[in-house]
Amino acid sequence: MSTLNFKLRQAPVATVDLSALIPAKLAGLSTGDIEELPLGALKVADLFDVSGTLGDAIVISGGSPLLDYVGAGLDGGSITVEGPVGAYAGRGMRSGRLDIRGDAGAYLASNARGGIIHVTGSAGSFAGGARPGDKFGMLGGTVVVEGDVGERAGERMRRGTIIARGKFGAAAGSRMVGGTLWTETGFGPRPGPLLRRGTLIGPKVDDMLPTFADCGRVDPVVLRILSRSVAQTLGALAPKALPIIVHKFAGDQATIGKGEILLTG
Amino acid sequence: MSGKTINGIAIDDTFAEAFGMSALGLVITADSLKWAMISAQVMTGFGTSVIGCGAECGIDRALSPDETPDGRPGVRVLMFGFSPDSLVPQLRNRVGQCVLTSPGSACYNGLDSPTTLGLAAGPRFFGDGWQTAKKLGDRRFWRVPTMDGEFVIEDKCGLTTDAVGGGNLLILGRDRAGLLEATEAAVEAINKLDDVITPFPGGIVRSGSKVGSKYKGAVASTNDAFCPTLKGAVATECSPDTIAVLEIVIDGLTSKSVAEAMRVGLKALIDVGAAKGVTRVSAGNYGGKLGQHHYHLKDLLP
């Protein structure tokens, strides 16, 4: 598989929108054409040394929290970033794979519909969330974050799965309407404010909202489907299969309350 | 109808006439294979003939835990109907009454196809508003709270309109008990194949029918030509020594699967039949004018 490389020459001094650098938008362009592509006030060659040939894979060597919209709109192929990225990574992504070897900023995978995103560091606030103007947050796909995830992950998320090896910050799953947040470490304070539907899974919760109703021990079959589906999608990246029995809290009862927090611990 | 004689069994030079049908496949799982099988058996019960049952249903095969979406033991069932529309109420009622109700059950699509039917279209509303869906990849699963936990049912199931119903073998014998044993062996061989079912009791029909009746309102009546007790009284298809005739009816997801099922059934009969009193194998047709699919026995010989 041929790879197109973007080597960051120096850290940018202001945010840069990298949504132009996905395989579908670069198809048919020569290296010269790509170097001339505008990135806001700059052009590609101002920031990156471009080498290699375009196929399905793009590698960005060197990252910065000022590189926004990395892999936004990705629809097939892969993008690997050797370093951190800024906000909106994988926004509106439809398929393919985005690997971030570092931290990701806010709104990771916002509005994403499919594909896989893997972050080896931590992710900022509103991961999988809706930004102002969006009707919904994440709409599909799978995100794996090796570290922690910031506050309000899954804000108005509708479908898809976000898995964190670390902890979700405060108010994870706020106003969520569907989908799954799954942590191997635990949730920060008060997850699920105004959660309508959707599933939050983790070993513990720092502070449970009083509007979540204790439903006791349950053994829903859907967790077996979820474990298998995630294992199939992610292979080696998949978390350990869920236990058969979990402790269910139904809420948020301040709204329709069809969501759930499932404690595995 | 004189054809070949193999291993002492005469194979008529005739053909089985079968019809294009619509079909769907489901996977039923439960906590044990026993309970998946109970649900599948009840769900496919009273599903012998579209004429009287609305659908022809049967168990295709048992599935190991690694073949099912939830990692539990399962059973694949197939349902055949005249048209997609005719399968809709059958699917709703059979799943609603026989799978939803069965302890620990879950129900999934069992046939990959671009055309689909709404599998959860009826049963999910049993949840009375408490039902929720979980979409994983491109599959959506409904979760319906029940007294033993949760009934999981996939949103849609695949549908094919390339299915074939009515592949058949007519087996004539001079010993009724032996004939039944040999026919059972043929059904067993057919059941080993994927994508086919033998919808009649134990896979065997003893009351083969002809089209029409002397009575108004009856669409089918006994196939007198193959009734041994009438062989002197009617234009008979029986041989002079025929004491009983049994039929295997085969429905398959493809024409190829039906042909293959007839082939392995025929082989089993030829292998074990003569010792058990099987004298002839024939096949049922309507002169070739009604069904789109013709399976000539001479093409299916081992």
CA distance B141 to B124: 10
Question: How many other C-beta atoms can be found within 10 angstroms of the C-beta atom of residue A56?
Answer: 15
What pLDDT, on the 0 to 100 scale, is given for residue A265?
86
Residue B1 has pLDDT above 60, yes or no: no
pLDDT of residue B2: 66
pTM equals: 0.93
Distance between CA atoms of residues B152 and B123, nearest Å: 10
Q: How many CB atoms lie within 10 A of CB B207?
A: 12
For A222, the closest of B130, B134, B137 (CB atoms) is: B134
Q: For residue B3, what pLDDT band results from cuts at 50, 70 and 90?
A: confident
| Mean pLDDT within B77-91 | 97
Torsion angle, CA of A183/A185/A189/A190, rounded to 10 degrees?
40
Q: What is the CB neighbour count within 10 angstroms for residue A116?
A: 21
**C-alpha to C-alpha distance for B272 and B248, rounded to whole angstroms:** 16
Query: Average pLDDT for residues B61-85, to the nearest whole number?
Result: 97
pLDDT of residue B42: 98
The values of phi and psi at residue B94, to 5°, are -65, -45
Q: Among partner residues A140, A161, A225, which is closest to B141 by beta-carbon distance?
A: A225
Record: contact A221-B70, CB cut-off 8 A: yes
Interface contact flag, A228 B69, Cβ < 8 Å: yes
**Rounded average pLDDT over B222-235:** 95
**Topology given in CATH for the domain delimited by B4-18+163-299:** Alpha-Beta Plaits (3.30.70)
A229–B69: do the CB atoms touch at under 8 Å?
yes
Chain B residue with Cα closest to A225: B70
Q: What integer pLDDT is reported at residue B302 of this predicted model?
A: 85
3-class SS of residue A176:
coil
Query: How is A119-163 classified by DSSP, letter by letter?
Result: ESS-B-TTTTPPPTT-S-S-EEEEEEESS-B-TTTTTT--EEEEE
Residue B288 has pLDDT above 90, yes or no: no
pLDDT of B51 reads 86
- Residue A1 confidence (pLDDT): 63
Closest in B72, B130, B141 to A222, CB measured: B141
Mapping DSSP onto H, E and C, the string for B36-69 reads HHHHHHHHCCCCCCHHHHCCEEEEEEEECHHHCC
Q: Which residue of A140, A225, A230 is in closest CB contact with B70?
A: A225
Q: Nearest-CA distance from B129 to chain A in Å?
A: 9
Domain boundaries, chain B: 4-18+163-299, 21-160
Res B244 pLDDT > 70: yes
Q: How many residues in total does chain B contain?
A: 302
| Cβ–Cβ < 8 Å for B168, B249 | yes
**Interface contacts A/B by beta carbons within 8 Å:** 49
Please answer yes or no on whether B135 and A159 come within 8 Å at the CB atom: yes
pLDDT band with cut points at 50, 70 and 90 for residue B62: very high
Task: Give the mean pLDDT per block of 10 residues along chain A (265 residues).
Answer: 91 95 93 94 94 93 96 96 98 98 98 97 98 96 98 97 98 98 98 98 97 97 97 96 97 96 95
Q: What is the pLDDT of residues A4-38, one digit of tens each?
A: 999 999 999 999 999 999 999 999 999 999 999 99
Give me the half-sphere count of Cα atoms (radius 13 Å) on the Cβ side of residue A189.
0
A35 conformational bin, left if phi > 0, alpha if psi -120 to 50, beta if neither:
alpha
Q: In this complex, do B135 and A178 lie within 8 Å of one another by their Cβ atoms?
A: yes
Token pair recorded at residue A103: 């931290």
Nearest to A110 by CA among A144, A147, A73, A82: A73
The pLDDT of residue B287 is 86
Q: What is the mean pLDDT of residues B174-198?
A: 98
Contact A199 B133 (CB under 8 A): no
Confidence of residue B211 (pLDDT cuts 50, 70, 90): confident
CA distance A132 to A175: 13
Q: Return the CATH number of the domain spanning residue range B21-160.
A: 3.30.70.520
Distance from CA of A160 to the nearest CA of B (A): 7
